Structure 1
Amino acid sequence: MAAPRAPPSSRRCLFVLLAVLAATLLLSACCAEGAAATGGKGMTRRRQLLRQRQVQHHLKRLNKAPVASIESPDGDIIDCVPIASQPAFDHPFLKDHTIQTRPAYHPEGLYDESKVASKDRQKITQMWHQNGMCQENTIPIRRTKKEDVLRASSIKRYGKKMHKSTPNPSSVEPNMLNENGHQHAIAYVEGDKYYGAKATINVWQPSIQQGNEFSLSQLWILGGSFGQDLNSIEAGWQVSPDLYGDNNTRLFTYWTSDAYQATGCYNLLCSGFIQTNNQIAMGASIFPISNYGGSQYDINILVWKDPKEGNWWLQFGNDYVLGYWPSFLFSYLADSASMIEWGGEVVNTEPDGSHTSTQMGSGHFPEEGFGKSSYFKNIQVVDSTNNLKAPRGVGSYTEQSNCYDVQNGNNGDWGTYFYYGGPGKNPNCP
């Protein structure tokens, strides 16, 4: 006998009840998803606001109130900041520092540049000079923009090199190749106490394949080991789209007292270096630039330790003493340097160990010679008597000579010199 069926009215009620229950469950799920989505957007928004506030705080710390500002033809803004308001004095040890306006002693024995033919000596200037100069008792500082900071991997790392970016000629094991992507072609001296170094550096505008790579030519003043306690003072020219937002060739400095880990920075992007000169801006574009097969342009860089005050001074050209690094910033360099290096460095970011076509120097190998390959000439060191002299026992070093190479030489006009550089990726440098 068949079971009795529920009356139509009862079935309708059951269907309605089930429909209401399903709708309630669906509505609850939708509300939960909406709340999660809204909450996620809220968290993202809060993170964005927090980062914006951090960037603004960093910009306020770096960009001191100027008495005047100059817009450079390349888009930079140069702020003329009172000398006592510069970023250096954010350092707790410099709160009551008396500025040393000039070095007590200048090195003697500077190589006689008048030996060089006039066609070989062209004057280099900075682009912002076309639109004005800073007055006395101020210093020119390239203004840091929000987009500059946002290009960095983090606010904390803005203005800093990656770790292990100093060449180590005593370690050439295969596992050192391409470490952090840094490659070099340098000349160097070691085994003595050094109190400074000088070089005349050929200026180019190497091509950079990827925005987070750079190419530079500089001298290194080094103390300590190549481990966690390396001290380094560096100066020269560089092309770094990641740091500056363009491919211009720029004057730069760098320092570190702990192998690029926490201390130091480029230019004036942290406290430390004290600038005293009102005519040259660190990090600003320099021109003109050498042309392949055409006119060649050089800059002179001199770094030396004042034997009286102990500070490390920087000079650009023959006329501009720019400022100094107080000796207390360093451990080993508080006394002297143990190695001097001159040459080029690039960063190659290919993760598989292959190479990009980021150029070093002119982008051409040393054997091409003058007008085609980049060079350092008249390289000298400062000895314990504060005299500049030709370096003895100059060695050379490169990780991969088929990518970037170096060749030393010596003659009556150029003193101790070397050609260096290369194209990076090529048929012999995959």
Structure 2
Amino acid sequence: MIAEENKTNVNKKKKCSILFVVRLVVSPDGDIIDCVLLHHQPAFDHPKLKGQKPLDPPDRPAGHNPNGLAAEDFQLWSLSGESCPEGTIPIRRTTEQDMLRASSIRRFGRKPRKRVRRDSTSNGHEHAVGYVSGDQYYGAKASINVWAPRVFNQYEFSLSQLWVISGSFGDDLNTIEAGWQVSPELYGDNYPRFFTYWTTDAYQATGCYNLLCSGFVQTNNRIAIGAAISPTSSYTGGQFDISLLVWKDPKHGNWWLEFGNGILVGYWPSFLFTHLRDHASMVQFGGEIVNSRPGGFHTSTEMGSGHFAGEGFGKASYFRNLQVVDWDNNLIPLANLRVLADHPNCYDIQGGINRVWGNYFYYGGPGRNVRCP
């Protein structure tokens, strides 16, 4: 029944999207990128956005000086020089195979329910994170190096992201999330991909990855959310960062996302949220994996580079230049960064601070090993 239901929905999606595709780009990794008219993107299916157009860019936080490589250098689909024309956005096409891999059509594009405690391994989720809490936050920024960790099976994933969080860790949890992930179930391969996520009810019924539901309004024609990132970091070799900034526009209250060298991707409208309509009460950075305990053993799915934090630069994964946005739209250094690893024998984390990287930490690990059976 799931397969038949998926086929029906895929066919409906194809009939709908073909009407609005201005250009089609075939990525070297096999993805099909559709260039869709701005006002025909999924966000505008939302009742509160019907008939509207994307908002103009807001003021960036004070103290923000974009640096790093240009965003188009970071995605496989654009390496051939192809792009989407002005007035359109690139959307990774959801295929029939994508939907057939899902455990349920109703859960396609969503994280598992009840993943609501950051200090536990509920639902097999394990974390190695740095976080700040106890204040009012209006955004967060970090640079993250990108890897291609090995994922044991299609039911598991490995990701590195930032979370902007408000509400309790009950059913009213609000989050905005962005980073990179390897998810064979969602994408059908093991490429690291740029992703976004949001929820207002602890992953129960609201929100989704990327543009798989109405909500996030994309404004950029060069970034394809859900598309593969290239190049990636290599062990004892080159290290490649992506920079992410999420902040609340003081004028309209929406949460904007910037990727790479000052490239605005789009925004989450404030009306999507309850607690995050005002501000965040916690900001979190780090890695997460799913451990399905294959054969009763801990999974060998890797987090980050697949190496422990103690190996340091060029070997371990890192987050650097961690900052938050204050009430007056200023980027400021973190105060009282705390680090936590659910299972430090499997994945660990070590924090620090210096003049070049500001607040930073190394994190990750191989999963199953002699100390993590």
State how far apart, in whole Å, the 2-side matches of 1:66 and 1:112 are: 32
Structure 1 residue 83 corresponds to structure 2 residue 38: yes
Shift of 1:130: 2.3
Question: Which deviates further from its counterpart, 352-361 or 288-297?
Answer: 352-361
Residue matched to 2:79: 130
Q: 2:63 aligns with which of 89, 93, 109?
A: 109
Shift of 1:206: 0.3
State how far apart, in whole Å, the 2-side matches of 1:123 and 1:52 are: 33
Match of 2:288, SS state, is strand
How many pairs does the alignment contain? 372
| Structure 2 counterpart of 1:95, one-letter code | K
Give matches, 1:348-427, under 5 Å: 348-350=291-293, 354-427=297-370
Residue matched to 1:21: none
Deviation by residue 1:318-374 (Cα, 9 ceiling, x = unmatched): 231000000000000000000000000000112776311000000000000000000
Q: 2:27 aligns with which of 69, 72, 80?
A: 72
Residue matched to 1:165: 115
User: Does the CA contact (< 8 Å) of 1:142 and 1:284 recur in 2?
Assistant: yes
Match of 1:287, SS state, is coil
| Structure 1 counterpart of 2:201, one-letter code | D
State how far apart, in whole Å, the 2-side matches of 1:112 and 1:125 are: 16
Match of 2:186, SS state, is helix
Match of 1:88, SS state, is helix
User: Does the CA contact (< 8 Å) of 1:63 and 1:144 recur in 2?
Assistant: no
State how far apart, in whole Å, the 2-side matches of 1:241 and 1:64 are: 29
Q: 2:48 aligns with which of 65, 81, 93?
A: 93
| Structure 1 counterpart of 2:47, one-letter code | P
State how far apart, in whole Å, the 2-side matches of 1:200 and 1:406 are: 16
Larger relative helix fraction? 1
State how far apart, in whole Å, the 2-side matches of 1:303 and 1:90 are: 23
Residue matched to 2:94: 144
| Structure 2 counterpart of 1:251, one-letter code | F
Match of 1:67, SS state, is strand
Structure 1 residue 53 corresponds to structure 2 residue 3: no
Q: 2:159 aligns with which of 213, 216, 220?
A: 216
User: Does the CA contact (< 8 Å) of 1:64 and 1:85 recur in 2?
Assistant: no
Taking structure 2 as the reference length, the TM-score comes to 0.95
Match of 2:105, SS state, is coil
Shift of 1:163: 1.9
Instruction: Decide whether aligned partners of structure 1 residues 409 and 52 sit closer, same or farther in structure 2, where only a CA change above 3 A counts.
Output: same
| Structure 2 counterpart of 1:168, one-letter code | R
User: Does the CA contact (< 8 Å) of 1:122 and 1:296 recur in 2?
Assistant: no
User: Does the CA contact (< 8 Å) of 1:167 and 1:184 recur in 2?
Assistant: no
Instruction: Decide whether aligned partners of structure 1 residues 195 and 325 sit closer, same or farther in structure 2, where only a CA change above 3 A counts.
Output: same
State how far apart, in whole Å, the 1-side matches of 2:365 and 2:168 are: 28
Match of 2:39, SS state, is helix
Instruction: Decide whether aligned partners of structure 1 residues 234 and 64 sit closer, same or farther in structure 2, where only a CA change above 3 A counts.
Output: farther
State how far apart, in whole Å, the 2-side matches of 1:102 and 1:395 are: 33
User: Does the CA contact (< 8 Å) of 1:360 and 1:423 recur in 2?
Assistant: yes
Structure 1 residue 310 corresponds to structure 2 residue 253: yes
Deviation by residue 1:234-255 (Cα, 9 ceiling, x = unmatched): 0000000000000001100000
User: Does the CA contact (< 8 Å) of 2:10 and 2:95 recur in 1?
Assistant: no
| Structure 1 counterpart of 2:241, one-letter code | D
Residue matched to 2:172: 229
Residue matched to 2:127: 184
Residue matched to 2:207: 264
Shift of 1:62: 6.6
User: Does the CA contact (< 8 Å) of 2:216 and 2:267 recur in 1?
Assistant: yes
| Structure 1 counterpart of 2:57, one-letter code | R
Shift of 1:93: 1.3
State how far apart, in whole Å, the 2-side matches of 1:338 and 1:86 are: 31
Shift of 1:109: 1.2
| Structure 2 counterpart of 1:278, one-letter code | N
State how far apart, in whole Å, the 1-side matches of 2:5 and 2:151 are: 33
State how far apart, in whole Å, the 2-side matches of 1:333 and 1:232 are: 8
Structure 1 residue 153 corresponds to structure 2 residue 96: no
Taking structure 1 as the reference length, the TM-score comes to 0.83
| Structure 1 counterpart of 2:51, one-letter code | D
RMSD: 2.1
Residue matched to 1:16: none
Question: Which deviates further from its counterpart, 91-100 or 404-413?
Answer: 91-100
Q: Tell me which structure has the larger Cα radius of gyration.
A: 1
